[in-house]
A and B are shown apart, each in its own frame.
Chain A
Amino acid sequence: MSALTFTVKQATAQRVDMSPLTCQLLKGLSIAEIAAIELQNGKRKLRVDALFDISGSDTQIIFIKNSFDKLDFIAKDLQEGSVTIEGDAGAYLAMGMESGSVMVNGNVGLYAACEMKNGLLTVNGNAGDFLGAALPGNKKGMKGGTIIIKGNVGQRAGDHMRRGTLLIEGNAGDYCGSRMVAGTIAVMGSTGRFLGYAMQRGTLLLWQQPTLSATFNDCGSHTLAFLPILFKSFAKLDSKFADATQAFDRVQRFGGDMAEKGRAEVLVKL
C-alpha cells in the first residue's frame, strides 16, 4: 500500500479545518468516502476532493503536498501513524496530539502542538507564537512528547507547558517558557525579553546568554551530571541536538521566577 496523499489543487482564500483528516478517523474508509468528507472552509463546507487530488490508500501514512498556511488543525488529536506536510501548515497543527509523528517541511502557524500529549513533531521551518502552549484560558499546555523546531519560534513558546521536551535550534521570541509548570525547553539561538515570565518549575537550557528579569537569581556555575544523560536522550533525534559536539555539562544556573513559585531553573552554557 502506498501512502495516502492529499495534493492541494489550489490554495483557498479562507481557512480550512483539517481536523477530520487524521489517521485514526480515516482508518477503514475507502477513497470515495474520504473524498466525500466535508471540510469547513470559512463559512462554507468544501468536499475533500474539491480541495485535494487524492492518491494512495494507506491511512496510517498521510502526506499533504503543496500545503499552504491556511490549513488549520492538521493532525489534531492524532493517535497513531504519521503525517508529513510538504509546504506550510496553518494554526493548531498537531493540537492535542496523543501519539504518532508529524513532520513539516515549511513553516507552521500559531498554537502548533498546543496541549500536545505525546508523540513527535518536527518542523524544518519556523513556528508561530504559542508553540506547545495551552489554549486561551486553559491551565495546562503541552503535557508530553517531543517537539523539534529547526528554525525560529514566535512568542510564548511553551506557555503553561506541563511536561515534555521542546527543542529549538533557532531563536525564540519574547516570553519563552512563560507560566511554565514543568518540562524542558532548549534553545540554541537567542531568546527575547521576559524569558521564563512567571515560570513555576521546569528547565530552560540555553546556548546563548539571555536577558533575565530581576526575579531570577544567579545561583553560580555548576557541572551538572544529568546534562550528559539528557543529551544522550537526544541522540536518536533528527536534529542538531543529537550532535555530540553541541553537548555540554558546565552551566551558569539561575533560579526563578521569584514572582511565582521560584522553583524553575535557567541553565546557560558556559
Chain B
Amino acid sequence: MLIKLTGGTVYDPASGIDGQVQNLYVQDGRFVKQPAADVKIDKEYDLKGKVVMSGAIDMHTHIGGGKGNIARMLIPEDHRKDPVHRSDITRSGCGHAMPSTFATGYRYAEMGYTAGFEPAILPVNARQAHMEMADIPILDKGGYVMLGSDDYLLRMLTAKKDQKAINDYVAWTMNAAKAIGVKVVNPGGINAFKFNQRKLELDEQNAHYGVSPRDILQVLATAVKEIGVKHPLHVHGCNLGVPGNLGTTLDTIQGIGGLPMHLTHIQFHSYGTEGDFKFSSGGAAIAEAINKNKNITADVGQILFGQTITASGDNMRQHANHGFANPNKWVCMDIECDAGCGVVPFKYRDQNFVNALQWAIGLEIFLLVDDPWRVFLTTDHPNGAPFTTYPHLIRLLMDKSFRNDMLSTIHPEAQKMTTLASIDREYSLQEIAILTRAGAAKLVGLDDRGSLGEGAWADITVYTDNADREKMFEKPDYVFKDGELVVVDGEVVHTKWGTTHIVRPDWDNSVEKGLEKYFNRFMTMKVGNFKISDDEMTEDGRGSLTTHSLNSVS
C-alpha cells in the first residue's frame, strides 16, 4: 500500500526540515522516496495548510510496573470519576491520574504520541511491567531497568569488583529484563532506607555497605558507556524535593566527570533555601549547568495544578513526603531486595506557595536551557501531572502572554520568587518537534524513529495550525502509526499493537555463575526464570521486539 501525504508543512528536525511544504510517501509502514510518475498511489491525504510532525515520544512516563497498579488500587475515587466506555473498536477503562492500560494507549495516541518509555522497571518485576505494557494499544514502548539499590550491585561494590564485572552484570540485567536503558533512583538510598537511614547525601555512606551515591553513579554511568548503550545513565538524583537540593544536583553534574548522564524530572531537584519560606528557585543555576556541560541531558518533570498521584521507586523520599498525601492514604514498600516503591496521592494547588513555585521552576528550566536537543518535555507522568496535560504545557512554552496570565494567578509570594515573567522566550514548532520527537528518539537511542526521513518508520502526526497551541496539540487531525491511520480528529479509528524497543549489549557468560549462587541463596526465583525470553514477549502474536544499535565499543 502506497500512501501519499500531500502538501503539508513539515517539521522534521531529524532531517533538518523546518516548516517546509513537502509531500511524503509511505509504503509498508516506512517513508519512501517519491515514486516514479506511473506508480499508482493507493491513498492520498490532502494536508495543505496542515502541520506535519513525526509521532511524539514520551521518554519518561510511568505506564508499566507494579507501582502503577498500586496507584490504581489506592485511588478508586479517581477511577470512578473518569470512566471510559467501550466502543466497537476500543475497550473500556477508567482513570484520570493513572488510567488503565487501554485508556493510556488511546489517550496518548489521541494526542499524537506513538511511543512511551517506562523509566523504572525493576529487574525482578520486569516480566509484569512488560506484560502490563503489552496491554497498551497503539503505542510503542520500552523501559529502563532500575539498578543502584539492588543488593547484588552493592555487594559487588563493597567487594571492590572491577568495572568489567559490573559492566557484565549491567549488560546481563538489561538483556534479562528486556530494557533499552539503565536508570538509577536515589542511588543506594532505597537500600539505605532499609538500614534506617532516612536521608542520603551524595557522599554519605550506606550504613551497611559503606557505598556512597557518588560511587554508584560513577560505576553505572561508566558501565552504560562502556557496554555501548546509547541512552545515557538515567538518573533520579539524591534528595528529591528537599529545599536546597540544588547543591546536590550541581555536585552530581560536576562529579560525573564528563560521562553522559540524563537527569530526570530535574524540576524536583532544583530547589534553593532562600526567602522568607526557605524555599526558592534553583532553575537558573541548573539551566546554566546544563548549558555548560554538554554531557548532561534533562527532562523537566513539570508539575501542573490538580489532583494526581506520585509513584516512585524512591521510597526514602516518598516516606518523607507521606504527610502531604491528599487524599490521606499512601503506600511504601520494599520489593524483593531489588528496590522499593512509594505511592502518595498528591494535589498540586496554585495557591500553595511551594506548589506554585515548583510550577514556575519547571518552566524556568524549560526556557533557560538553550539547547532543545538536551531538554525533554515530561511531567514525569503521573508524578507532576497526568500526561493528558501535555497540550497545556506546550501552550505555556509557546505562548508568553498565556504563560504570564497563568503566572499572575498563582500564589503571590511565589510570583515574587521567580524570574519567569522576565523570560521572553517562546518555543517554536520546530523546537517542540525536537523536544517531543527528534530529540527524544535520539536520547533513547531509537533507530528509524522520530523522523520523517526516507527509511524511517512512518509514525506521523498531523495538526491544524492554531494560535491556541493547547487546542492544536490536544486534537490532531490524523495520527499514523507504522503507516496505519489510527486517529482522525482526535479520536481513535483503528487500533494496532506497537513494538517493544530494546538493546542487547554483550556480556561475559561467567557473570551468571555468581548470579546463580546469589539467586539460589536469596531470591524468590531462579536465574533461569528471572530472564525474560524473546518468546514470552512475542508468542501472544501481538507483541514484538525491536533491537536497536549500540555505540561501537572499543
Complex formed: what's the CA distance from A138 to B327 in Å?
9
Among A136, A137, A138, the one with the most B-chain Cβ atoms within 10 Å of its Cβ is A137
B77 within 8 A of A: yes
A135 within 8 A of B: yes
**Contact yes or no, B328 A138, CB < 8 A:** no
**Contact yes or no, A135 B329, CB < 8 A:** no
**Contact yes or no, B328 A137, CB < 8 A:** no
Interface residue stretch chosen among B68-76, B97-105, B111-119: B68-76
The contact of A135 among B73, B74, B77, by CB within 8 Å, is B77
A222 within 8 A of B: no
Complex formed: what's the CA distance from A137 to B77 in Å?
7
**Contact yes or no, B76 A135, CB < 8 A:** yes
Chain A residue nearest in CB terms to B77: A138
Q: How far is the CB of B340 from chain A (nearest CB, A)?
A: 23
**Contact mask for chain B residues 61-102; partner A; CB cutoff 8 A; 1 contact, 0 none:** 000000000000111110010000000000000000000000
**Contact mask for chain B residues 323-358; partner A; CB cutoff 8 A; 1 contact, 0 none:** 000011100000000000000000000000000000
Q: How far is the CB of B475 from chain A (nearest CB, A)?
A: 27
Contact residues of A: prevailing secondary structure: loop
**Contact yes or no, B76 A139, CB < 8 A:** no
Complex formed: what's the CA distance from A139 to B330 in Å?
12
CB neighbours (8 Å) of B327 from chain A are: 138-139
* Interface set, chain A 36-94, CB cutoff 8 A to B: none
Complex formed: what's the CA distance from A137 to B328 in Å?
11
Complex formed: what's the CA distance from A135 to B328 in Å?
15
Chain B residue nearest in CB terms to A134: B77
**Contact mask for chain A residues 175-215; partner B; CB cutoff 8 A; 1 contact, 0 none:** 00000000000000000000000000000000000000000
Q: How far is the CB of B507 from chain A (nearest CB, A)?
A: 44
Chain A residue nearest in CB terms to B86: A43
Give the number of residue pairs across the A-B interface with Cβ within 8 Å: 15
**Contact yes or no, B328 A139, CB < 8 A:** yes
Q: How far is the CB of A138 from chain B (nearest CB, A)?
A: 6
Chain A residue nearest in CB terms to B327: A139
CB neighbours (8 Å) of A139 from chain B are: 327-329
Q: How far is the CB of A175 from chain B (nearest CB, A)?
A: 20
Chain A residue nearest in CB terms to B329: A139
Complex formed: what's the CA distance from A184 to B76 in Å?
27
Complex formed: what's the CA distance from A136 to B73 in Å?
10
Complex formed: what's the CA distance from A136 to B80 in Å?
11
CB neighbours (8 Å) of B75 from chain A are: 137
CB neighbours (8 Å) of A138 from chain B are: 76-77, 327
CB neighbours (8 Å) of A135 from chain B are: 76-77, 80
Complex formed: what's the CA distance from A136 to B77 in Å?
8
Q: How far is the CB of B56 from chain A (nearest CB, A)?
A: 33
* Interface set, chain A 117-137, CB cutoff 8 A to B: 135-137
Q: How far is the CB of A181 from chain B (nearest CB, A)?
A: 12
CB neighbours (8 Å) of A136 from chain B are: 76
Complex formed: what's the CA distance from A137 to B329 in Å?
9
CB neighbours (8 Å) of B328 from chain A are: 139
CB neighbours (8 Å) of B80 from chain A are: 135
Complex formed: what's the CA distance from A136 to B327 in Å?
14
Q: How far is the CB of A97 from chain B (nearest CB, A)?
A: 17
CB neighbours (8 Å) of A137 from chain B are: 73-77
Chain A residue nearest in CB terms to B328: A139
CB neighbours (8 Å) of B73 from chain A are: 137
Complex formed: what's the CA distance from A136 to B329 in Å?
13
Q: How far is the CB of B186 from chain A (nearest CB, A)?
A: 28
Q: How far is the CB of A143 from chain B (nearest CB, A)?
A: 15
Complex formed: what's the CA distance from A138 to B76 in Å?
8
CB neighbours (8 Å) of B74 from chain A are: 137
Complex formed: what's the CA distance from A137 to B74 in Å?
7
Complex formed: what's the CA distance from A139 to B73 in Å?
14
Complex formed: what's the CA distance from A216 to B334 in Å?
34
Complex formed: what's the CA distance from A33 to B23 in Å?
52
* Interface set, chain A 134-173, CB cutoff 8 A to B: 135-139
Q: How far is the CB of A223 from chain B (nearest CB, A)?
A: 38
CB neighbours (8 Å) of B329 from chain A are: 139
Q: How far is the CB of A203 from chain B (nearest CB, A)?
A: 24
Q: How far is the CB of A27 from chain B (nearest CB, A)?
A: 24
Q: How far is the CB of B365 from chain A (nearest CB, A)?
A: 35
CB neighbours (8 Å) of B76 from chain A are: 135-138
Q: How far is the CB of A248 from chain B (nearest CB, A)?
A: 38
Q: How far is the CB of B409 from chain A (nearest CB, A)?
A: 30
Q: How far is the CB of B94 from chain A (nearest CB, A)?
A: 13
Q: How far is the CB of A141 from chain B (nearest CB, A)?
A: 13
Q: How far is the CB of A91 from chain B (nearest CB, A)?
A: 14
Chain A residue nearest in CB terms to B79: A137
Complex formed: what's the CA distance from A138 to B81 in Å?
13
* Interface set, chain B 283-342, CB cutoff 8 A to A: 327-329
Q: How far is the CB of B551 from chain A (nearest CB, A)?
A: 47
Complex formed: what's the CA distance from A135 to B77 in Å?
8
**Contact mask for chain B residues 191-203; partner A; CB cutoff 8 A; 1 contact, 0 none:** 0000000000000
Q: How far is the CB of A112 from chain B (nearest CB, A)?
A: 18
Write the residues of chain A forming the contact surface with B, with a CB cutoff of 8 angstroms. Answer: 135-139
15 pairs, CB–CB < 8 Å, chain A vs chain B? A135-B76, A135-B77, A135-B80, A136-B76, A137-B73, A137-B74, A137-B75, A137-B76, A137-B77, A138-B76, A138-B77, A138-B327, A139-B327, A139-B328, A139-B329
Q: 10 additional contacts, CB 8 Å, given A137-B77, A139-B329?
A: A135-B76, A135-B80, A136-B76, A137-B73, A137-B76, A138-B76, A138-B77, A138-B327, A139-B327, A139-B328
Write the residues of chain B forming the contact surface with A, with a CB cutoff of 8 angstroms. Answer: 73-77, 80, 327-329
The 9 closest A-B pairs by CB, nearest first: A137-B76, A138-B77, A139-B327, A136-B76, A139-B328, A137-B77, A139-B329, A137-B75, A135-B76
